[in-house]
Amino acid sequence: MQNKTYHHGDLRNALILEAIVMLHEKGIGGLSLRELARRLGVGHNAPYRHFKNKQQLLEAVAATGFRRLKAHNIRLELELADDPESQLFESGVAILNMAMEQPELFRLMFGGYLSLGKCGPELKEEAHASIESLVKIISLAQQQDIFARGDVMRQTLAAMSMVQGLAMMASSGMLRDNVTGDEQQFKRLALQVYDILLMGLKKR
Partner DNA sequence: AGACCATGTGGACATTGCCCACATTATAAT
Partner DNA sequence: ATTATAATGTGGGCAATGTCCACATGGTCT
31 binds, among a copy of itself, DNA, none (CB under 5 to 8 A by kind): DNA
By CB under 7 A, residue 43 contacts DNA: yes
Among 54, 67, 68, 70, binds DNA (CB under 7 A): 54
Distance of CA 53 to the CA centre of its chain: 22
By CB under 7 A, residue 115 contacts DNA: no
By CB under 8 A, residue 100 contacts a copy of itself: no
By CB under 7 A, residue 42 contacts DNA: yes
Q: Which residue number, 29 or 112, has a Cβ lying nearer to DNA?
A: 29
Contact 8, 14 (CB under 8 A): yes
Query: Backbone dihedral region of 87: left (phi > 0), alpha (psi from -120 to 50 degrees) or beta?
Result: alpha
Q: Which residue number, 146 or 189, has a Cβ lying nearer to a copy of itself?
A: 189
Rounded-to-integer distance, Cα 138 and Cα 130, Å: 13
By CB under 7 A, residue 149 contacts DNA: no
Closest separation in Å from C-beta 11 to a copy of itself: 25
Q: In the chain, which residue ranges form alpha helices assigned H by DSSP?
A: 11-30, 33-39, 54-79, 84-101, 103-110, 121-143, 152-171, 183-201
By CB under 8 A, residue 193 contacts a copy of itself: yes
Distance of CA 113 to the CA centre of its chain: 13
Give the contacts of 34 (CB within 8 A, at least 6 positions apart).
44
Rounded-to-integer distance, Cα 58 and Cα 49, Å: 15
Distance of CA 91 to the CA centre of its chain: 10
Query: Which residues between 128 and 167 bind a copy of itself (CB under 8 A)?
Result: 128, 131, 151, 153-155, 157-158, 160-166
Binding mask 8-47 for a copy of itself (x = CB under 8 A): ----------------------------------------
By CB under 7 A, residue 114 contacts DNA: no
Where on the chain is the footprint of DNA (CB under 7 A)?
A: 5-9, 11, 31-35, 37, 41-46, 48-50, 52-55
